[in-house]
């Protein structure tokens, strides 16, 4: 990771210095103020902060620098991690960065997507701040930020982001984030979703699979048993995306985010890109066919 990001960090640093000077440097290479933290230390500071959400003052004590130095290091490295994209299983060097990339990959490789939303609690804004109610989740009854996660059938992360306020329903996000448009553009892509996306399943019945509706109370026992079995099978095939969200929740900022809300999207993308590196290393398990195979009778 150091080799991957070092050149991008140095290029961004030189660009910022050139802009502040108003032109090229006038002194020889190596002159001027020395960095208190080299890039490797800045990368370590950012990774520790993303993993454990330690305060900047604590990290400053650990690395024996000023708090402002730690804050500047995180501001510089975090966007580089967020811009990496998501690793692709069995495709070293290839990374998915947009929703269009995910659907193109799923169509080309025949991957059935798993789709789910997730909520992260955030700090409550001040009482007089405009748009305060937009982050109040009707489900969790607290201030949250919602994201959408895509995985394959083995729970390997393909995309996580599409940040929205906690008050917005998953079905509304389908329209605003362009997910429905992607299903319409690529009719060969299939996905399994939960009951929050029933509208998407109704619009694309041949592509999107959602849990079946519960039969009425007066329905016969056979229909109720068939409903329970169909629901169990659908849940068993979709549960892997819940495990993907659980992997993201192992990082402290995605369990409860205590920073500024305007930095959440960048923080989420940075963490998700790191999680995808690990999940993409899991070996691909081929599904065995359960079709009946005719056996040739060798008895003479």
> pLDDT 10s digit of each residue in the chain, 300 long?
888 899 988 888 888 878 877 888 777 776 667 788 999 999 999 999 999 999 999 999 999 999 999 999 999 999 999 999 999 988 888 899 999 999 999 999 999 999 999 999 999 887 777 777 888 888 888 999 999 999 999 999 999 989 999 898 888 888 888 999 999 999 999 999 998 898 899 999 999 999 988 888 888 988 889 989 989 998 999 999 999 999 999 999 999 999 999 999 999 999 999 999 999 998 877 554 545 555 455 544
pTM (2 decimals)?
Answer: 0.87
According to the model, what pLDDT value does residue 41 have?
A: 94
pLDDT computed for residue 132 by the predictor = 79
DSSP string, the chain: -HHHHHHHHHHHHHHHHHHHHTSS--SPTT-SPPPSS-HHHHHHHHHHHHHH---HHHHHHHHTS-HHHHHHHHHHHHHHHHTT-EE-TT-TT-EE-SHHHHHHHHHHHTPPEEEEEEEEEBPPPPTT-TTGGGGB-TTTSSBEEEEEEEE-TT--EEEEEEEEETTS-HHHHHHHTTHHHHHHH-TT--EE--GGGHHHHHHSTTTEE-PPPPPPTTS-HHHHHHHHHHHHHHHHHHHHHHHHHHHHHTSGGGTSB-S-GGGHHHHHHHHHHHHHHHHTTSPPPPPPP-S---------
Whole-number pLDDT of residue 32: 65
The tens digit of pLDDT for each residue in 224-276 reads 899 899 899 989 999 999 999 999 999 999 999 999 999 999 999 999 999 99
């Amino acid at each position: 990771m150091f080799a991957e990001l070092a050149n991008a960090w140095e290029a961004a640093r030189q660009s910022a210095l050139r802009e502040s000077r108003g032109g090229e440097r006038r002194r020889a290479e190596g002159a001027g103020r020395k960095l208190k933290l080299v890039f490797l230390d800045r990368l370590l500071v950012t990774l520790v902060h993303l993993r454990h959400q330690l305060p900047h003052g604590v990290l400053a004590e650990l690395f024996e620098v000023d708090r402002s130095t730690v804050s500047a290091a995180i501001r510089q490295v975090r966007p580089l991690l967020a811009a990496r994209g998501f690793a692709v299983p069995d495709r070293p060097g290839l990374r998915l960065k947009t929703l269009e990339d995910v659907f193109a990959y799923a169509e080309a490789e025949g991957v059935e997507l798993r789709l789910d939303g997730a909520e992260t609690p955030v700090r409550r804004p001040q009482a007089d701040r405009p748009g305060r109610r937009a982050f109040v989740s009707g489900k969790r009854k607290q201030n949250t930020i919602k994201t959408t996660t895509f995985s394959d059938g083995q729970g390997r992360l393909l995309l996580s982001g599409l940040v929205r306020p906690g008050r917005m329903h998953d079905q509304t996000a389908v329209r605003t984030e362009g997910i429905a448009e992607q299903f319409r553009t690529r009719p060969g892509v299939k996905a399994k979703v939960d009951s929050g996306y029933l509208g998407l399943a109704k619009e694309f019945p041949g592509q999107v699979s959602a849990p079946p509706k519960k039969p009425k109370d007066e329905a016969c026992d056979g229909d109720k048993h068939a409903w329970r079995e169909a629901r169990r099978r659908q849940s068993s095939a979709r549960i892997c995306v819940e495990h993907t969200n659980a992997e993201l929740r192992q990082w402290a900022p995605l369990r409860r985010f205590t920073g500024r809300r305007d930095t959440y999207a960048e923080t989420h993308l940075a963490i998700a890109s790191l999680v995808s590196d690990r999940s993409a290393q899991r070996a691909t398990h081929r599904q065995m066919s359960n079709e009946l195979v005719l056996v040739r009778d060798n008895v003479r």
